[in-house]
Structure 1
Amino acid sequence: MADWSYCEYRIAGEPEELDRLFGIMQKVENAEGGPWLCDLMTEINREEAEDGRGQWSELKREEDCISFVFEGAGRTYIEEWDEVCDNFETLCPYFKGELWAYELAQKRENPEKGWFPDKYYLDMRYSEDEDDEAGSFRTIEDVYKRIEELTGTKISSEEDVEALRSALKEKNDDTFILIYEIEEIPRGGSSSHTLFPWGDMSDWEIEEVDDDDIPEETSEMTSMQSMFLLRGETTLDLSSFDTSKVVNMSLMFGYCSDLTTLDLSSFDTSKVVNMSGMFEGCSALSTLNLSSFDTSNVTNMREMFSDCTELTTLDLSSFDTSKVTDMEAMFVGCDSLKTVIMRNCSAATIKKIKSKLPEGVEIIQ
C-alpha cells in the first residue's frame, strides 16, 4: 500500500459560506461512512465522486477559517479541495503537506494570515538506534541547527551536510539526510509536482501527464510519475519510449493489477532519481525485464516491487544502489519470489538488496 500524504488545511472565505461548508463536513463526518473526501464531494455535487480517497480529522470552525488535518493515499489532493471550494463564491483552501515516500513537500500560503511560514522540510535517519527525524523549518539555517543538535556535528553549509551524509553512510548504509524546499502551489495549480533531495535537481520543471493514452513523443519528458497508474492492460509496448531525460518514475505502473508481462529493456534510466512504488500493486506481473536499468542516480526505491505477488524470478543484475537512501518495504508482499539474479552487482548493492528480500529468496551472483 502506498504511503499516505499528510496535510494541514485552512479554508478561508466569507463567514456564511464557511458555516455552510462546515455544516456539510459535519454531516458527512457523522454519517455511517465517516469523514471521507469522496463522500463530501458526492454530497456537494449530488453525484458520485470518481476520486477523493482520503479523510480528514480534527475538524474545527475557527474565527476566520475552517481547519482540519487531511490524509490522502499516495498523493496530495489539492485539486479535489479546490473543486470543493469552487462550489462557493469566496472559499479558498490553503495547506501545507508532505508525502514522505515520494519526496514531496508543498504548501499554499495565505499572504495575509501567514498560516504556513515554513520553507524547508527535513527528513533524516542518523543512527540505527534512533527513529527517523522529520520536521518543517522557516530558514535553511534552522535546518542546519536542527541537524547539528541531533548529530553534534557543526553544520553551516550544504557542503557540511554532504560531508556528514557521507560520514554517516560509511557507518550505517541505512542513514540518510534529505532536505526539501517546500514548493508553493498557486490556486488552480497542479498537485503532482515532485521535489528532489537538497542539491539534486530541485530547480527542474517537472511535467505532468494527464492523457489516458500512451504518448507518442516522450523525448522531452522529465517525469513519468503515475503515468500508467491503475491501467487495465495485460501488457504494454513501450519500446518507442525515450526516457533519457526522465528523473521521476515513482508509481509509474502502480496498481496495474492486470499487467502480466512488461519489457523495459529499452529504457534509459540514467537520470532517474525516484523509483518508489514503480511496480507497486502489479499483482499479476510474472515477467519483468529490467536488463538495461541504470539505477546509479536513484535515491528512492521504497515499495518499488511491493505486492508483486506473482513474480517468481527477478533479474537485478544492472542495479546500483550506491545512492539509494530509502528501500523500505521494497519487496513486501512478493510472496512468490524465489530467485533474484545479481550477477554484475557490487557487494554493497547485493548486501542492501538482500536485507530487504523476504526470507528464503535465493540470490544468484
Structure 2
Amino acid sequence: MATLSELKADARKALLARDHEGALQLFREIHEQAPDDMRAWCKMAELMEKCGDVDGAVREYNAIAGRYANEGFVVQAIAISKIVLRLDPENRRASERLRELSRERGEEWSGDTDARRATVAFKETPLISGLSGEELQAFIGYLHPRMADDGEAIVRAGEAGDFLFLIGSGSVRLETVDAAGARKVVRRLEAGDFFGEHAFMARTAYQDDAIAEGHTVVLEIDRATFDQWCERHPSIQETVERFYRQRVLERVLATSDLFRGIPAEACTALTEHFRRRTFHDGACVVRQGEKGDSCFLIRSGVVSVTTEDFRRPGRVIDLGELREGAFFGEVALLNDKPRTATVTARGEVELMELTREDFRAIIDRFPQVLQTVEAYQRERVRSTIRKVTAS
C-alpha cells in the first residue's frame, strides 16, 4: 500500500500530465487515508466535476461545506457552498446553509465551541464583519467562486484591477519585483483575508502576482457590484480603504532600497507610524535650508530634487527624480540639520510621512533600522557630492 506522501507525489504528477481520471483515483485514496485533509478533499470534488460526475462533486462539496460550518470555519463554508450553487443553482442544502450562516452570524450555533469559533471567524474577516445577517446574505449572493491549484496565478501584475478577492479556503502569496530586480514575497494571506484592493480602489492594474499556495478557493466581486454596495454600506468601503493604505505602505517598504534587509516585523511596526500626505503638481514638499523633523516615503507619483551649488550661490543643480518606493528627508531623522535639498511634486503625489519622534520609538525596538538609515544617508551624501562636482 502506497504511503500518503507517495500518493500525493503521484497525484501531483497526474495533475501536471492533465490526467484527471488518474488524479481523481489518487485523491480518493488520499481522502481515505487522510479524511481531515480538507484541501485534498476539495481537490477530489473538483476532479469529480472535471471527470463529468457533477452529482458526485455536489455531494462531496456539500459534505465539505457542512464540515467547515460545523467546525466554525465560516468563510470556508461560504466559499464551498457557492461552488455547490454554481454546479446546482437549486441545491437546497447549500442555499439553506448560506441563509443559516448569514442569519446566525456565529452567535447561535449548536454547541458553545462552534459558536465561539464562528464568532471569531466573522470578526477575523474584516470585509464582512460589519454586515448584519440580511446584508451578509445579500452580499454573499454577489460573490463568485474561483479555484486555483498550487502555484497557479490568480492574477498577474499588469492585469486590469477589476476584481476584489476574498480567500475562501487555502492561502495566497503576493509577489513583486524589488528595486534590484529580484522577486520578493510581499505578504502571505489566509482564508478570510482579501487582496487586490490597491488596483481595485485606485482603478489601476494589479501591481503584484497573486499565487495560490496549495488548492485554493477565492471569492471575487466586480467593481460595479462593489460600488453599488458601498453606496448602501459605506463601512465596506472604509474597511477596504483602511487595508489599502496599510498594505500599499507595506509593499512600498518591501521594495524600497532603504528598507531592503530590515526585518519584516520592523517594517510592520513602521507602517503604524507613517501618515498620509498629498501634494499637487508644483507644490514644494521640503525646501533647502529649512528645519525639518520628518522624512517621506513616496507611495505614488514623482518628485524632483534640486540643490543650490555651494560653490556658485544662486545656481541650482538638478539631482534627478524620485518615484514610488523612494525615500527622502532622512537627514531630519538623524539630526537637527537644515534640509539639504528642495523636493517638488511633479504631478499628483502621495507621500507617507514619518516624524523624528516616531522614528526614535521604532529604533528603540529595532536598532538595526538606525544603522540602515545612517548607511543610506551616507551613500546619498556621496552621490550628491558626485553630482555637484560633476556639474
TM-score relative to the length of structure 2? 0.28
Which structure has greater helix proportion? 2
